[in-house]
Every structure is written in structure tokens, then in C-alpha cells.
Structure 1
Amino acid sequence: MVTLRSSARTLEISKQTKNNENTQPTEESYEQCRIKRIKENMERMEKLGIQSLSFKLKTEFLPRKPTSQRKTPSHSSPLPSSSQPLRRSSRLQNVTPISYSEVRGPRSKDMLEDTIEGLVEEGSKPEIYTEEHEKLLGTCEESWTLFVDGYGTDGKRIYDSVKGKTCHQCRQKTLGYHTHCSTCNLVQGQFCGDCLYMRYGEHVLEVKKNPSWICPPCRGICNCSLCRHAKGWAPTGTLYRKISKLGFKSVAHYLIQTRRALTDSEKEQPVSAKRSLPFEDKEEFYEKKDFLCSDEPGLKKSQSSDSR
């Protein structure tokens, strides 16, 4: 009995599913009915005039966009031309107009001296040089090309911690020519070509040919930041370009020639500080090494060869 009932139920379920499949519309038939209904509605609205009325109402109540008029850019100068009269207020009619153009007149000697004195700050101790210091200044016969020796093809300086040598002035371990002092035989006697030329007016190749050359620290005329701090003087900073425009050979020439104490004979007949110094005989020059100051300790890295 149970088997008969179950078989009868399965037959009924199968019949119902077949009827549902026949009665339910497929997806294609539903889409066709929807399109047909939309078409009928549109025809009915067109007969009643509803479609044209809705379009008319939309066009009337839509917000209108403002018509943007492009303005042609005016390239005229904001300042009035010389041909046109100046527009001035009534209270300024009797006042002479102000001229903002820079007028460079001839520079007097006093103005030049004020400019020279203001290049280096004053330190805790007065910076005064003697005639002996001026005689210790070096010179060179050939000119030195800056920023070439020790630089790569890209124009950047080559730093090498293994093969490079440390310059006492800029404290950078770089490649290129470096000096060697016959007196101290220390790192303080090593100067790169750029620092030696800009700071002391000497040529590194000429110095290397001289086996009895004495470095600026041993001569007592070193102007690096460490040596100047040890003496109570302010560092010079990037000074070479400024003093070269004023006519000085190097930073050392500028410092010594502008801060030298005059003797009694020189006070009676003053001489310009920008004079060109003759280079004295080498034997007479190196006989004065008893006057030279002692070594200055300390070496640190810096950013620029002209900043010390």
C-alpha cells in the first residue's frame, strides 16, 4: 500500500511541474510582451498629446546655463606708458613723482672700505697682521682652473675614502693633486688645488715641484675655520668670489692686506691695500720659518671647499 501511494504522489508532482512549465512564460516571451506594452503606451500618449506636452514643459522649466563670454587676455603693462599722462589724485598733483629705478653712481673710496670691512665678522679677539705676515704670502706664475682637478666627467667632485687625501682647508677626502709640507709632514700640510688657489693664491703643481715648501698653518697664515676659531677669530665663509671682484688674489691676501698694522713710515705715506705684492727670494722666504706658528689640531668634514 505504501509503495502505491508514493508512486501516485510522484505522478501528481510530475504532472504539476509539466503544467507549470507550460503555463509560465519564458524570458524571451516576457521581454517581447514588455516591448509590446511600451509601444502601445507610447502610441496612446501620442494620440492624447501627452508626449508633446511633457517635452514642452521640460524645455520651459529647465535652468538655462549662463553664456560665458571669453575675455581676450590683455598683455598691456599695468604701468602707464610715458606717452600717456599719469593718473594722479588731486592731493598729489603738486608732489614730484617717485622714481623707483636704481641709479648706480660712482663708488667712493670710503664706500669701498666699508664694503671690505663688512665681509668678515669680528671675532672675540682682534685680528691684526704685521708686515712679516704679508711677506709670508705666496704667489703663482700660472693660473689654476677651478673645479676640474678631482672632478668627474659629470662635473661632480670625486670622494674616495681609500685612495683620497684629506684637505686641511675643506676637510674633504678626495682625489686629485694635494700638497705636502716639508716642515710638519702631517695632514695639516695637505691642501687640494682649489683650496690652495682660492684661499692662498698658490698653484698646487708649482708647490709640488718645490721640496722645501711650507704649508699655511706652519707659516701662521691659515684661514680655515678651525685655525681661526683657535685664535678667537670668526670664520670667513664663502669669501673668494667677493674678494676676487675687489681685486685680491686670495682670501689670505685680503685678510692680511686689509688688517695689517701700519708701521711709522707707512703711516706717513699710506699705500692702497689692493696693491700687488712682489714675491721675494725663496731663500730669504724660508729663512723666516722660526717666526712660524705651531700646528693646529683637528680635522672635520665640510660641505664646500670655499666655506672655510
Structure 2
Amino acid sequence: MGRATEEPKFDYEALRKARMLENQACLRLKSLGVGKTVSELRKQAKEQQPPRRSYQKKVYCLTPLRRSLRISNNLTPPQSNSTPLSTPKQDKVTLSGEKKEKQRPANAPLVNLSDADLLLSSENSGRRCNSKGRGTIYNPVLGICCHFCRQKKLCGEEDCKRCGNFDVNEPCLGKTDCSVCHSSTGVFCRACLKVRYGEEIEEVREKKGWMCPHCIEEQGTKPYWICNSSICLRKRKMPPTGIAVFKAREMGYKSVAHLLMEELKLGKCK
């Protein structure tokens, strides 16, 4: 058999140079439609963009804030059929020619009330005295917060002029007041005072020098006697006692505070 015919040889270097010349002449770029320069493309993009809106600075006028009728001094309270109540007066005493405000008890805080805040239906008024423990009527304005249960309820005492007649100058008979600190930490309702500390509110009213657990602890009259509310126990890094009243009654203790005091003596509480 004869030799196979040889394939023709191509000069690749010559082809590369020819393509380079062709690209330099923009023949291929123009044929592909990409012969425009970058500046032309940016100019075309700017022409297609919508015109920008001119910035206009807004001027905000100062308007008075909306205030509720309870704390507003400019608005007049709505007319009601109820009898007008006496406006609260601040107790002041004169010392060395200067007028100073007398400290009010914690169970009789001074609040500015309107007739709208003092409207209580006849049903709620009759239901208020049904429960003397913590009360049944919740009132965020006139109710006094208990340090333990933190409930702002009207007390169920029949003779209480503050919760019954809405007289803010009178103390709440269903809440305690510490004779030393006169602070919110010494305010307890009837139920919490009995269950958590083993005291009756009638006995507390008769004691003019009654002190709350915080003041007793500061004076050191009762060793290991502390407040067992969840707020105070967390500050001591102690777990809240929860419903420990059943455990205290089963073990024969007068209250949860007496049970906790015994456990602190024995070193069980850390």
C-alpha cells in the first residue's frame, strides 16, 4: 500500500495575528453589537432613568401632647350625677417659718382624681365588701399595691372611707403602713399579712408603732426575720417560696415567715 496523503499544515501564528487585527478594527465587536464604549453606555443609562424628585424639607409644627383627663389641668372633668367629692389637700406643717410637706402614710397616697375616675357601679360597690382578703374590685387609680401579691384592689373593709367613699385623704383600712419607713415595702393586704407573716390586720391597726419586716430586720429585733416576697428573695439570690403556706401549716408554723426563719436558723436556706 502506498503512503497516506499528508494533511495540509496550517500556520496558527498567522491566524492569531489575523484575528487580532480583526478585533482591533472592531469588525467582530460591531458585528456582535458591543462596539459602544463605556461612556456611551453610561450616558444611555442616565437618559433612561426617571428624573429625581427635588428634596423638600418638611417643617413639623409643635402640637400639645394628649393628656388623660385624670392628669390634665386644662380640661374640665365631665359632668356626672354623682355627688361632688372633696378635692385632696396636702398636709403641710410649718417648721421655722418654712412650709414643708408632711410625709403621708403609704396606705394613703395622694392622687389627683376626677369624677370620671370615681364612678363605681352599684353592683361593684356591693361586691367590694364580699371579700376582705385581697378585695375583688381592681382599680389601677385608687387601689393601693400590696408588696407581696402586687394587686391594686379596693379593700373589702366596710368602714374604709378611701375605698368606699373615694376619699383620698383617708388611709386604706385594708392595707398596712409601716410606722418607720412609710414606704411601699410596708404595704400588705389582709390575706398576705395573715398567710405570709402570721399577723392580723386588726392588731396592726391598734399598734401605732407597727414595723414592716424590712424595718424589723434593719433594727435586728427578730433574728432571721426577713420579708419572703418574691422581689426580696430574688435580691437575696434565694428562690421564691411559692405556695409554701400548706407546708407551713402541716409542720405547725404560724406562717411562711416563721417557717423560713426556722430554716435560716438551721442553715437550710442558702
TM-score by length of 2: 0.39
Greater fraction of residues in strand:
2
Point out which structure has higher relative CO (alpha carbons under 8 A, 6+ apart).
1
Larger Rg computed on CA atoms: 1
Greater fraction of residues in helix:
1
